[in-house]
Structure 1
């Protein structure tokens, strides 16, 4: 049995960390019968609010270097635990500060490069981030990117390091513990239920999604729109808002799943994205995705198979035209079935774990 140490900056026992990716990635690893998985950087039971408050006050009063203490704790654990694999997920700031024993293989998992975040999202990325990424690449046995788009960018950016053979693309999985085992029947004939999910209304293309909904209504369709994750100013009885749903609570998780069960299309006309986890979540409920073709999305959305891709400049009417094509047509059920099949065979954590472990063995 392989001993696996999981290294993360955020809490892998919190279903909200990194959109749930850390939580469900950890679960996927733990479900493998041949892996003994241990979180290196976090306790299995998250600290309560009182202990978090005490830690905050202690740091403020005594000026303890919490990060340095954390690094020392991580190093001690890695040095003494004899891990076969250390899987570090989106935490180059930690990886650069620790030493990996010679008998352990480091697998670094990420969905972006510093340059991509700076150019694509216009984030303020410090120069030191590039140096950190180079060091991580050199340390790693393999780097697992969430899309071929990002892995190809990384090979161009870091090609001079001679490490391109270390770089692999494996799509992330579904951020749910329980999922369907067969595709869900939902006819598209009486109404059209649209879903938008995202914290950033502007960047995720919320305005275009709203326009799509309004166009469908103006053309006589009984269209409804559910918005999850943000709180735009909208005033329409056919729009339902959930500014925040906490997947750690059963009530909110059930609400989220019920919305997906009754959705015909996930609308994602995003302006910038890596590999949005909501695509796998939608496909797991047989919901096809209508998305702009940006970033790593074409790696996980196969046009006409588990959704449709659009140019970023395409109008809202382009989306409406596709929806109208499926309305009242049996081809919509075929699209739902193939959307679920993409989830079943590709966009799940069992598949991610199998491919990642296989990479570590070669």
Structure 2
């Protein structure tokens, strides 16, 4: 089977979608499929100018934001160009991860398998960059997403949170929607030592978005515990907040594609006791999959697709969206005082990784869908 992989950049780019696109490409090759890159359509300068005029006109008339990524004129323009490009490409199936706009009006006899970590409709007023749109823009967004999902032969999501929404909100047939969880985008050790030093506890905040992942809330929670005399430390990797405290270590950026910096990331995961990211909004945090691979319990928020990778009371703790710093501090204090529970969470995290939070499992489940298209 020959798969056409629709992507903005070449498939061997390990940075695309934080490495997730490459991992999917890698698995398809590993399973023996022939995979060709279908470059995402490009627009002319004149078209881009027209798009901006449409956006500005909407802003001026309605005094509201406009979804510049998803609107009918742009979708029709993209579909015409993609149909033209596909005439020169011979594939058995088109794999379309994340691109809604370009496929809404696409007319093709080639089966399309769509993949995403959420429905755009779920992100409206959930993610900050999908907030503030006018009502007509929201209607247009949902209309186009519905068309893309209806046109796809199968739609795959990384959590039941997203899959169930597609079925219930857009009325998709359940047998055309599949949940396949993502894996870790870094190398995971074959064995984990669950016997860690318990004289002090390191809480890893691994994220690039300090605001959305609510790093300040994590800091304030641990500060409460410090003031109560608990030997807790915070390790921030991926962002550079303005925090001055001798018990907080900040490493602004580490490149997974750099061997030395990658080993540094591994060491932080191995030496930390918890991954503590009380995120405000999330679809599929890959860092949670990576934490599972390193046997690291996760403390986070029960929001979005987080519960697909962190099972409350099994491999971590998920608090309500309105939980405050004191709530997180109380939960952490409870865990620190129950070392056996923490060890069980750690062991369960690794089990969860080996069972489903790995790319090998993703490839096997994805291939089952491809086999139905033969």
Q: TM-score range by the shorter chain?
A: 0.7 to 0.9
Q: For 1:37-78, what per-residue CA distance to the aligned partner results, in whole angstroms no more than 9, with x for missing partners? A: 222228xxxxxxxxxxxx9xxx879x999x999988865664
Residue 360 (structure 2) pairs with residue 350 (structure 1): yes
TM-score, normalised to structure 1, is 0.83
Within 2, Cα distance between the matches of 1:196 and 1:83? 42
Residue 150 (structure 2) pairs with residue 152 (structure 1): no
CA contact (8 A) 1:187 1:333 kept: no
- 1:118–1:215 distance in 2 versus 1, CA, 3 Å: same
Compute the displacement of 1:360 (Å): 3.3
What residue is the counterpart of 1:93 in the other structure?
Answer: 101
What residue is the counterpart of 2:154 in the other structure?
Answer: 142
What residue is the counterpart of 2:4 in the other structure?
Answer: 5
Compute the displacement of 1:98 (Å): 4.5
CA contact (8 A) 1:188 1:332 kept: no
Residue 307 (structure 2) pairs with residue 301 (structure 1): no
Within 1, Cα distance between the matches of 2:183 and 2:166? 21
What residue is the counterpart of 1:50 in the other structure?
Answer: none
Of 131, 135, 143, 1:131 maps to 143
Of 164, 171, 176, 1:166 maps to 176
Compute the displacement of 1:188 (Å): 4.9
Within 1, Cα distance between the matches of 2:193 and 2:350? 8
Compute the displacement of 1:143 (Å): 0.3
TM-score, normalised to structure 2, is 0.81
Compute the displacement of 1:93 (Å): 2.6
Which runs of structure 2 are paired with 1:1-362 in the superposition (5 Å)? Answer: 2-10=1-9, 12-32=11-31, 34-41=32-39, 75=83, 78-96=86-104, 98-100=106-108, 102=109, 104-122=110-128, 123-124=130-131, 126-127=137-138, 128-159=140-171, 163-176=173-186, 178-327=187-336, 329-362=339-372
- 1:10–1:132 distance in 2 versus 1, CA, 3 Å: farther
Within 2, Cα distance between the matches of 1:70 and 1:321? 52
Within 1, Cα distance between the matches of 2:9 and 2:254? 19
Compute the displacement of 1:164 (Å): 4.1
What residue is the counterpart of 1:47 in the other structure?
Answer: none
Compute the displacement of 1:192 (Å): 0.5
- If asked which structure has higher relative contact order (CA below 8 Å, sep 6+), I would say 1
Within 1, Cα distance between the matches of 2:13 and 2:270? 24
Unaligned runs of 5+ in 1: 43-54
